[in-house]
Chains A and B, each alone.
Chain A
Amino acid sequence: MNRPLATAFATGLAIPLVAAMAALPRHGSPDQPIHTHVAAQYHAWPHELGNLVTAVLLDYRGMDTFGEVVVIFAALMVVLVLRHKEEPLPSPDPSPIVAFIVRLVTPFIALFGFHVILVGHVAPGGGLQGAAILGGLVLLNGVVFGPDHVRSLHPGRALPWLQGAGPLAFLAAGVVGAVTTGFALGYPTHLPLLQEAMVVGIELGIGIGGALIFSRIYLAMEGA
Protein backbone atom coordinates (compact mmCIF):
# COMPACT_ATOMS: atom_id res chain seq x y z
CA MET A 1 0.00 0.00 0.00
CA ASN A 2 1.45 3.36 -0.89
CA ARG A 3 2.57 5.79 1.77
CA PRO A 4 -0.14 8.52 1.80
CA LEU A 5 -2.95 5.98 1.90
CA ALA A 6 -1.25 4.12 4.76
CA THR A 7 -0.72 7.36 6.70
CA ALA A 8 -4.36 8.36 6.19
CA PHE A 9 -5.49 4.92 7.37
CA ALA A 10 -3.28 5.11 10.46
CA THR A 11 -4.54 8.58 11.34
CA GLY A 12 -8.13 7.48 10.80
CA LEU A 13 -7.50 4.57 13.16
CA ALA A 14 -5.75 6.70 15.77
CA ILE A 15 -8.51 9.26 16.28
CA PRO A 16 -11.28 6.95 17.60
CA LEU A 17 -8.78 4.91 19.65
CA VAL A 18 -7.30 7.94 21.42
CA ALA A 19 -10.77 9.44 21.90
CA ALA A 20 -11.91 6.17 23.48
CA MET A 21 -9.08 6.44 26.00
CA ALA A 22 -10.74 9.57 27.37
CA ALA A 23 -13.84 7.55 28.23
CA LEU A 24 -12.01 5.05 30.45
CA PRO A 25 -11.95 5.63 34.21
CA ARG A 26 -8.99 7.51 35.57
CA HIS A 27 -5.65 5.75 35.72
CA GLY A 28 -5.36 4.09 39.11
CA SER A 29 -9.03 4.02 40.07
CA PRO A 30 -10.53 0.69 41.10
CA ASP A 31 -13.63 0.82 38.94
CA GLN A 32 -11.82 0.05 35.71
CA PRO A 33 -13.31 -2.80 33.71
CA ILE A 34 -10.46 -5.17 34.48
CA HIS A 35 -11.07 -5.06 38.23
CA THR A 36 -14.82 -5.39 38.40
CA HIS A 37 -15.62 -8.72 36.81
CA VAL A 38 -13.65 -11.73 37.97
CA ALA A 39 -10.61 -10.23 39.68
CA ALA A 40 -12.47 -9.52 42.91
CA GLN A 41 -13.34 -13.20 43.21
CA TYR A 42 -9.74 -14.25 42.66
CA HIS A 43 -8.61 -11.93 45.42
CA ALA A 44 -11.29 -13.26 47.78
CA TRP A 45 -10.59 -16.96 47.36
CA PRO A 46 -7.96 -18.41 49.70
CA HIS A 47 -4.89 -19.69 47.93
CA GLU A 48 -2.00 -21.57 49.46
CA LEU A 49 0.63 -20.57 46.92
CA GLY A 50 2.60 -17.45 47.75
CA ASN A 51 2.57 -15.96 44.27
CA LEU A 52 -0.89 -14.90 43.10
CA VAL A 53 0.23 -14.78 39.46
CA THR A 54 1.22 -18.47 39.58
CA ALA A 55 -2.01 -19.28 41.39
CA VAL A 56 -4.03 -17.62 38.61
CA LEU A 57 -1.95 -19.23 35.86
CA LEU A 58 -1.91 -22.78 37.19
CA ASP A 59 -4.94 -23.05 39.44
CA TYR A 60 -7.78 -20.71 38.52
CA ARG A 61 -6.90 -20.57 34.80
CA GLY A 62 -5.06 -23.85 34.47
CA MET A 63 -6.79 -24.85 31.24
CA ASP A 64 -5.69 -21.60 29.55
CA THR A 65 -2.07 -22.28 30.48
CA PHE A 66 -2.47 -25.80 29.09
CA GLY A 67 -3.71 -24.28 25.84
CA GLU A 68 -0.77 -21.88 25.72
CA VAL A 69 1.74 -24.70 26.19
CA VAL A 70 0.07 -26.58 23.32
CA VAL A 71 0.32 -23.37 21.20
CA ILE A 72 4.06 -23.14 21.61
CA PHE A 73 4.42 -26.86 20.88
CA ALA A 74 2.38 -26.39 17.70
CA ALA A 75 4.70 -23.52 16.68
CA LEU A 76 7.64 -25.90 17.04
CA MET A 77 5.83 -28.42 14.80
CA VAL A 78 5.23 -25.80 12.11
CA VAL A 79 8.86 -24.63 12.18
CA LEU A 80 10.09 -28.23 11.92
CA VAL A 81 7.84 -28.88 8.92
CA LEU A 82 9.15 -25.75 7.19
CA ARG A 83 12.84 -26.33 7.68
CA HIS A 84 15.32 -27.46 5.09
CA LYS A 85 19.00 -28.31 5.17
CA GLU A 86 21.17 -25.31 4.45
CA GLU A 87 24.86 -24.97 4.01
CA PRO A 88 26.21 -23.38 7.20
CA LEU A 89 27.21 -19.75 7.17
CA PRO A 90 30.98 -19.16 7.58
CA SER A 91 31.46 -19.84 11.25
CA PRO A 92 31.83 -16.66 13.29
CA ASP A 93 35.18 -15.79 14.76
CA PRO A 94 34.38 -14.27 18.12
CA SER A 95 36.75 -11.80 19.64
CA PRO A 96 38.51 -13.19 22.76
CA ILE A 97 36.72 -10.74 25.08
CA VAL A 98 33.26 -11.80 23.93
CA ALA A 99 34.15 -15.51 24.00
CA PHE A 100 35.64 -15.26 27.51
CA ILE A 101 32.68 -13.38 28.96
CA VAL A 102 30.10 -15.71 27.42
CA ARG A 103 31.96 -18.76 28.69
CA LEU A 104 32.23 -17.16 32.13
CA VAL A 105 28.59 -16.20 32.68
CA THR A 106 26.92 -19.24 31.09
CA PRO A 107 26.94 -21.46 34.23
CA PHE A 108 25.57 -18.62 36.37
CA ILE A 109 22.77 -17.88 33.94
CA ALA A 110 21.89 -21.59 33.80
CA LEU A 111 21.81 -21.78 37.62
CA PHE A 112 19.63 -18.67 37.78
CA GLY A 113 17.29 -20.10 35.16
CA PHE A 114 16.74 -23.30 37.16
CA HIS A 115 16.29 -21.26 40.35
CA VAL A 116 13.61 -19.13 38.68
CA ILE A 117 11.75 -22.27 37.54
CA LEU A 118 11.78 -23.90 40.96
CA VAL A 119 10.74 -20.92 43.14
CA GLY A 120 7.92 -19.89 40.83
CA HIS A 121 5.16 -20.73 43.27
CA VAL A 122 6.33 -18.48 46.12
CA ALA A 123 8.36 -15.70 44.49
CA PRO A 124 8.18 -13.91 41.12
CA GLY A 125 9.18 -16.49 38.57
CA GLY A 126 7.75 -19.65 37.18
CA GLY A 127 8.01 -22.05 34.29
CA LEU A 128 7.63 -19.56 31.46
CA GLN A 129 10.27 -17.19 32.81
CA GLY A 130 12.78 -19.99 33.37
CA ALA A 131 12.11 -21.40 29.90
CA ALA A 132 12.79 -17.99 28.33
CA ILE A 133 16.02 -17.56 30.32
CA LEU A 134 17.39 -21.02 29.49
CA GLY A 135 16.32 -20.74 25.85
CA GLY A 136 17.93 -17.32 25.60
CA LEU A 137 21.13 -18.75 27.06
CA VAL A 138 21.31 -21.45 24.35
CA LEU A 139 20.61 -18.82 21.68
CA LEU A 140 23.37 -16.58 23.06
CA ASN A 141 25.89 -19.42 22.82
CA GLY A 142 24.64 -20.23 19.34
CA VAL A 143 25.09 -16.67 18.11
CA VAL A 144 28.60 -16.32 19.53
CA PHE A 145 30.05 -19.76 18.81
CA GLY A 146 27.96 -21.07 15.93
CA PRO A 147 25.02 -23.51 15.91
CA ASP A 148 27.17 -26.64 15.68
CA HIS A 149 28.55 -25.81 19.11
CA VAL A 150 25.15 -25.91 20.78
CA ARG A 151 23.59 -28.79 18.88
CA SER A 152 24.92 -31.24 21.46
CA LEU A 153 22.95 -29.43 24.16
CA HIS A 154 19.73 -30.53 22.56
CA PRO A 155 18.70 -34.19 23.07
CA GLY A 156 17.77 -34.75 19.45
CA ARG A 157 17.68 -38.49 18.90
CA ALA A 158 17.83 -39.79 22.45
CA LEU A 159 14.92 -38.00 24.15
CA PRO A 160 12.78 -36.22 21.55
CA TRP A 161 9.71 -36.51 23.76
CA LEU A 162 11.28 -34.01 26.20
CA GLN A 163 10.28 -31.23 23.85
CA GLY A 164 6.68 -32.07 24.65
CA ALA A 165 7.34 -31.99 28.39
CA GLY A 166 4.95 -29.09 28.86
CA PRO A 167 1.75 -30.75 27.62
CA LEU A 168 2.85 -34.08 29.15
CA ALA A 169 3.29 -32.51 32.61
CA PHE A 170 -0.18 -30.99 32.35
CA LEU A 171 -1.67 -34.33 31.31
CA ALA A 172 0.02 -36.09 34.23
CA ALA A 173 -1.17 -33.43 36.69
CA GLY A 174 -4.66 -33.70 35.22
CA VAL A 175 -4.72 -37.47 35.78
CA VAL A 176 -3.40 -37.13 39.35
CA GLY A 177 -5.95 -34.41 40.08
CA ALA A 178 -8.80 -36.47 38.64
CA VAL A 179 -7.80 -39.45 40.75
CA THR A 180 -7.52 -37.54 44.02
CA THR A 181 -10.27 -34.93 43.78
CA GLY A 182 -12.57 -35.88 40.93
CA PHE A 183 -11.91 -32.77 38.82
CA ALA A 184 -9.58 -32.82 35.84
CA LEU A 185 -6.94 -30.35 37.04
CA GLY A 186 -8.04 -30.13 40.67
CA TYR A 187 -5.37 -29.65 43.28
CA PRO A 188 -5.96 -31.80 46.39
CA THR A 189 -6.10 -29.34 49.28
CA HIS A 190 -6.27 -32.18 51.81
CA LEU A 191 -2.80 -33.39 50.78
CA PRO A 192 -0.62 -30.23 50.80
CA LEU A 193 2.58 -32.10 49.93
CA LEU A 194 1.03 -33.64 46.84
CA GLN A 195 -0.37 -30.24 45.81
CA GLU A 196 3.03 -28.59 46.03
CA ALA A 197 4.63 -31.51 44.17
CA MET A 198 2.07 -31.14 41.37
CA VAL A 199 2.74 -27.42 41.04
CA VAL A 200 6.52 -27.85 41.00
CA GLY A 201 6.16 -30.73 38.53
CA ILE A 202 4.11 -28.60 36.14
CA GLU A 203 6.61 -25.73 36.45
CA LEU A 204 9.52 -28.06 35.69
CA GLY A 205 7.69 -29.50 32.71
CA ILE A 206 6.90 -26.07 31.28
CA GLY A 207 10.44 -24.85 31.97
CA ILE A 208 12.39 -27.72 30.45
CA GLY A 209 9.96 -28.24 27.58
CA GLY A 210 9.88 -24.54 26.73
CA ALA A 211 13.67 -24.19 26.80
CA LEU A 212 14.08 -27.20 24.49
CA ILE A 213 11.43 -25.80 22.15
CA PHE A 214 13.16 -22.41 21.90
CA SER A 215 16.55 -23.97 21.17
CA ARG A 216 15.06 -26.36 18.62
CA ILE A 217 13.37 -23.47 16.80
CA TYR A 218 16.73 -21.68 16.63
CA LEU A 219 18.52 -24.79 15.33
CA ALA A 220 15.82 -25.38 12.71
CA MET A 221 16.10 -21.80 11.46
CA GLU A 222 19.87 -22.03 11.17
CA GLY A 223 19.39 -25.04 8.94
CA ALA A 224 21.19 -27.43 11.26
Chain B
Amino acid sequence: MSLVFDLVLLVLLVCTALAVARTRNLAGAAILFSAYSLILCVLWLHRGAPDVALTEAAVGAGVTTVLFLVVIARTSP
Protein backbone atom coordinates (compact mmCIF):
# COMPACT_ATOMS: atom_id res chain seq x y z
CA MET B 1 0.00 0.00 0.00
CA SER B 2 2.77 2.40 0.82
CA LEU B 3 4.38 1.42 -2.48
CA VAL B 4 1.35 2.71 -4.39
CA PHE B 5 1.43 5.95 -2.39
CA ASP B 6 5.13 6.27 -3.15
CA LEU B 7 4.56 5.78 -6.87
CA VAL B 8 1.69 8.29 -6.95
CA LEU B 9 3.81 10.92 -5.16
CA LEU B 10 6.71 10.46 -7.57
CA VAL B 11 4.47 10.67 -10.65
CA LEU B 12 2.85 13.85 -9.29
CA LEU B 13 6.29 15.30 -8.59
CA VAL B 14 7.53 14.69 -12.13
CA CYS B 15 4.32 16.05 -13.66
CA THR B 16 4.46 19.23 -11.55
CA ALA B 17 8.11 19.79 -12.46
CA LEU B 18 7.22 19.41 -16.17
CA ALA B 19 4.39 21.91 -15.68
CA VAL B 20 6.78 24.42 -14.08
CA ALA B 21 9.15 23.98 -17.01
CA ARG B 22 6.52 24.43 -19.70
CA THR B 23 4.39 27.28 -18.35
CA ARG B 24 4.91 30.63 -20.08
CA ASN B 25 3.04 32.69 -17.50
CA LEU B 26 5.55 33.59 -14.78
CA ALA B 27 3.16 34.01 -11.84
CA GLY B 28 1.57 30.67 -12.68
CA ALA B 29 4.99 29.04 -12.73
CA ALA B 30 5.75 30.49 -9.28
CA ILE B 31 2.52 29.07 -7.81
CA LEU B 32 3.19 25.72 -9.48
CA PHE B 33 6.66 25.79 -7.94
CA SER B 34 5.05 26.26 -4.52
CA ALA B 35 2.85 23.20 -5.20
CA TYR B 36 5.96 21.21 -6.23
CA SER B 37 7.57 22.14 -2.93
CA LEU B 38 4.48 21.01 -1.01
CA ILE B 39 4.39 17.60 -2.74
CA LEU B 40 8.10 17.24 -1.98
CA CYS B 41 7.32 17.95 1.69
CA VAL B 42 4.79 15.10 1.73
CA LEU B 43 7.44 12.85 0.17
CA TRP B 44 9.87 13.70 2.95
CA LEU B 45 7.25 12.73 5.55
CA HIS B 46 6.65 9.46 3.72
CA ARG B 47 10.39 8.72 3.89
CA GLY B 48 10.46 9.36 7.65
CA ALA B 49 12.31 12.72 7.66
CA PRO B 50 10.36 15.19 9.85
CA ASP B 51 13.18 17.75 10.16
CA VAL B 52 13.61 17.97 6.40
CA ALA B 53 9.83 18.18 5.86
CA LEU B 54 9.54 21.08 8.33
CA THR B 55 12.38 22.98 6.66
CA GLU B 56 11.14 22.27 3.13
CA ALA B 57 7.58 23.41 3.90
CA ALA B 58 8.72 26.65 5.56
CA VAL B 59 11.41 27.42 2.98
CA GLY B 60 9.63 26.30 -0.19
CA ALA B 61 6.24 27.84 0.41
CA GLY B 62 7.37 30.65 2.68
CA VAL B 63 10.63 32.12 1.52
CA THR B 64 11.39 31.00 -2.04
CA THR B 65 7.90 31.49 -3.47
CA VAL B 66 7.53 34.93 -1.87
CA LEU B 67 10.89 36.03 -3.27
CA PHE B 68 9.91 34.84 -6.75
CA LEU B 69 6.59 36.68 -6.55
CA VAL B 70 8.33 39.90 -5.40
CA VAL B 71 10.71 39.77 -8.37
CA ILE B 72 7.90 38.94 -10.83
CA ALA B 73 5.82 41.85 -9.52
CA ARG B 74 8.74 44.25 -9.85
CA THR B 75 9.83 43.22 -13.33
CA SER B 76 6.63 42.68 -15.24
CA PRO B 77 5.46 45.81 -17.12
Do A and B touch directly, given a CB cutoff of 8 Å in the complex? yes
- The chain A residues found within 8 Å of chain B, CB to CB, are 51, 53, 86, 89, 116, 124-126, 128-129, 132-133, 135-137, 139-140, 142-143, 214, 217-218, 221-223
Shortest distance from the beta carbon of A69 to any chain B beta carbon, whole Å: 14
B66 interface residue (CB < 8 Å to A) = yes
Selected A-B contacts with CB under 8 Å, 21 pairs: A51-B51, A86-B74, A89-B73, A125-B54, A128-B55, A129-B51, A129-B54, A132-B55, A132-B58, A132-B63, A135-B58, A136-B58, A136-B59, A136-B61, A136-B62, A136-B63, A137-B62, A143-B66, A217-B67, A221-B70, A222-B70
Report chain A residues within 8 Å CB of B59: 132, 136
- The chain B residues found within 8 Å of chain A, CB to CB, are 50-51, 54-55, 58-59, 61-63, 66-67, 69-71, 73-74
Shortest distance from the beta carbon of B67 to any chain A beta carbon, whole Å: 7
Q: Is the CB of B67 within 8 A of A124?
A: no
Report chain B residues within 8 Å CB of A125: 51, 54
Q: Is the CB of B67 within 8 A of A116?
A: no
Interface SS of B by simple majority: helix
Shortest distance from the beta carbon of A122 to any chain B beta carbon, whole Å: 12
A218 to B50, CA, bound (A): 27
A86 to B66, CA, bound (A): 18
Closest residue of B by beta carbon distance from A57: B51
Taking a contact as CB atoms closer than 8 A, the residue among A116, A139, A222 that contacts B62 in the complex is: A139
Report chain B residues within 8 Å CB of A51: 51
A137 to B63, CA, bound (A): 9
Q: Considering the complex of A and B, which 9 residue pairs feature the smallest CB-CB distances, nearest first?
A: A136-B62, A132-B58, A124-B50, A139-B66, A129-B54, A133-B58, A132-B59, A124-B51, A136-B58
A81 to B74, CA, bound (A): 18
A40 to B18, CA, bound (A): 38
Closest residue of B by beta carbon distance from A124: B50
Q: Is the CB of A214 within 8 A of B63?
A: yes
